[in-house]
């Protein structure tokens, strides 16, 4: 847990919250300043600033819980849709350095704006981006050994203040 993280404070019950779901690894609470009634966020109990630091097993569980909360929202709040999204990094709108998934109930004409203006890339830009991403993702899904997986999990479970500072520096470098 991170002492100055508001979400860690909620997890530790130092700040009152409306808990919707809780187990050993995951907590889901109502967002008191949400976009609409029933807006929830689903978060790991362990402090991870961004998605890339959350172990895959916990990511899978977080999204599974978010899906089940979405179903519950549909069944109990008579909504017409939900948005399930992540703001991952400062430039993406992340305000708190603790990973979470938002589940937002939606009604037609509710005034919530999650739109963006599409940008038409030329063929050269698309090809360049495609090549860069393909090179970086060549080994996605391939585990070299269970030992490296264990080491990665242990590394990501022990974040220090230096990791938090590195996260902030990396985010500043991402800002155009």
Instruction: Domain 6-109+143-174: give its CATH superfamily.
Output: HIT-like (3.30.428.10)
The 3-state DSSP class for residue 33 equals: coil
Q: 102 — phi, psi (to 5°)?
A: -90, 140
As to burial, measured by CB atoms within 10 angstroms (0-12 exposed, 13-18 middle, 19+ buried), residue 47 is: buried
The answer to whether the predicted template modeling score (pTM) of the entire model surpasses 0.85 is no
pLDDT tens per residue across all 176 residues of the chain: 788 999 999 999 999 999 999 999 999 999 989 999 999 999 999 999 999 999 999 999 999 999 999 999 999 999 999 999 999 999 999 999 999 999 999 999 999 998 888 888 899 999 999 999 999 898 887 765 554 444 444 544 455 556 666 655 655 555 54
pLDDT of residue 172: 58
Neighbours of 71 (CB within 10 A): 11
pLDDT given at position 176: 46
Helix runs in the chain, H state only: 6-11, 56-77, 123-136, 146-157, 161-174
Q: How far apart are CA 51 and CA 142, in angstroms?
A: 19
DSSP per-residue codes, 65-76: HHHHHHHHHHHH
Place of tokens 């949400």: 34
């Amino acid at each position: 847990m991170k002492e100055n993280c508001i979400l860690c404070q909620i997890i530790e019950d130092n700040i009152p919250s409306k808990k919707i779901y809780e187990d050993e690894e995951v907590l889901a609470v109502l967002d008191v300043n949400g976009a609409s009634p029933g807006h929830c966020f689903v978060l790991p109990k362990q402090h991870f600033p961004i998605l890339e630091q959350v172990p895959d097993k916990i990511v899978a569980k977080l999204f599974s819980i978010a899906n089940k909360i979405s179903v519950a929202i549909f069944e109990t709040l008579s909504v017409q849709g939900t948005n399930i999204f992540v703001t991952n990094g400062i430039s993406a709108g992340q305000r708190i350095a603790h990973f979470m998934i938002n589940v937002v109930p939606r009604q037609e004409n509710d005034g919530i704006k999650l739109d963006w203006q599409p940008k038409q890339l030329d063929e050269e830009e698309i090809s360049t981006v495609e090549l860069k991403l393909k090179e970086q993702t060549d080994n996605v899904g391939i585990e070299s050994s269970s030992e490296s997986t264990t080491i990665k999990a242990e590394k990501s479970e022990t974040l220090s203040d230096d990791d938090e500072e590195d996260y902030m520096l990396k985010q500043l470098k991402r800002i155009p």
